[in-house]
Amino acid sequence: MSAYAYRDRNRTEVIYASEAMTENIDTLFFCPNKDCTAHLHICAVDGSRKAYFRATYKQFPHIDNCPFASSANHFDSDKFNEELFSFDDAINNLFLVKKESERNKIQRNIGEHNNGENNKQPIKTLRQIYSMCKSRPVTDMYAGKKIRDMILDDRSAYYYTKGCFGNKIVEARRQAGHFFEDESKRVFFKAPTESGKYTFVLQFDEEKIYGKIKTEIKKNRDKLFIVAGKWESAEKYNHFISNIYSDRQVKVIR
């Protein structure tokens, strides 16, 4: 399901689900993924006034691995505090091992106590940030930052002509064939997923986290993954590398 779609096959005219409530359920819309041939229609979420786009007809489903097919990626913006969100803070927090991040949370809660105005928290997990990024076009903003400055995926690939540097979420697939290297504790991904133009090298410190992620990739060989990293040039052309300190930096998209 998707929070936005396009009125035309060329994907020039965007429409948000919230604006499409009055549309007929027979009206055809197109998937945000330009390679996807799904026919989308407006639907209401049961028991709420929220709407979303769904590939209602079996004959016109999302293509395999279309990131807009999953209902797990649904983002409910009303549940979170957009103003309090800082992309870099959120990404840096994912780098911390769990114990440190819990400590930060406790300190934050103490600091925010009694400010009562709004109890909503900003998005913080990798899945939440990813769902938010997928809920609107890449030129839209969230908390004052453009989506394309947060995520490299097929939609924002045009913007990453020189590579991918700094804190970014990358939507990727595993490198075909040889995708890990036990000796150096490295895992290799390709992104953007359609062209696979860039290689992303995940450098693990800890044997345990390395083993866990490697197993996860083996179990989900054909699935897309999301990785939060602080990327810099690796030794080879079009290769980018980031340290992976925590398993919260790598998730499979189901």
Site membership for Zn ion, residue 224 (CB under 5 A): no
Determine the interface stretch with Zn ion among 30-38, 71-79, 124-132, 246-254 (rule: CB under 5 A).
30-38
CA 88 from centre of chain: 15
Site membership for Zn ion, residue 193 (CB under 5 A): no
CB 65 to Zn ion: min, Å: 9
Site track for Zn ion across 75-104, x = CB under 5 A:
------------------------------
Strand pairing class (180-181; 166-174): unpaired
Exposed (0-12), middle (13-18) or buried (19+): which is 240, by Cβ within 10 Å? buried
| Residue count, binding to Zn ion (CB under 5 A) | 7
Of 5 and 227, the one with the shorter C-beta distance to Zn ion is 5
CB 36 to Zn ion: min, Å: 3
Residue 213 burial (CB count, 10 A): 23
CB 38 to Zn ion: min, Å: 4
Strand pairing class (14-16; 4-6): antiparallel
Of 11 and 146, the one with the shorter C-beta distance to Zn ion is 11
Is 162 in contact with 154 (CB distance < 8 Å)? no
How is residue 75 written in tokens?
């983002």
Of 65 and 92, the one with the shorter C-beta distance to Zn ion is 65
The owner of tokens 């079009």 is: 238
Which residue number is nearest to Zn ion in terms of Cβ?
Answer: 36
Strand pairing class (180-181; 239-244): unpaired
Please, which residues have CB within 8 angstroms of residue 1's CB and are 6 or more apart in sequence?
Answer: 43, 52, 53, 54, 68, 69, 70, 71, 73, 74
Of 155 and 190, the one with the shorter C-beta distance to Zn ion is 155
Of 53 and 160, the one with the shorter C-beta distance to Zn ion is 53
CB 169 to Zn ion: min, Å: 19
Of 31 and 147, the one with the shorter C-beta distance to Zn ion is 31
Site track for Zn ion across 31-70, x = CB under 5 A:
x-x--x-x-----------------------x---x-x--
How is residue 245 written in tokens?
């300190």
Question: How far is residue 3's CA from residue 98's CA, in Å, rounded to a whole number?
Answer: 31
Please, which residues have CB within 8 angstroms of residue 115's CB and are 6 or more apart in sequence?
Answer: none
Of 1 and 228, the one with the shorter C-beta distance to Zn ion is 1
Q: Which residues here bind Zn ion, judged by CB under 5 A?
A: 31, 33, 36, 38, 62, 66, 68
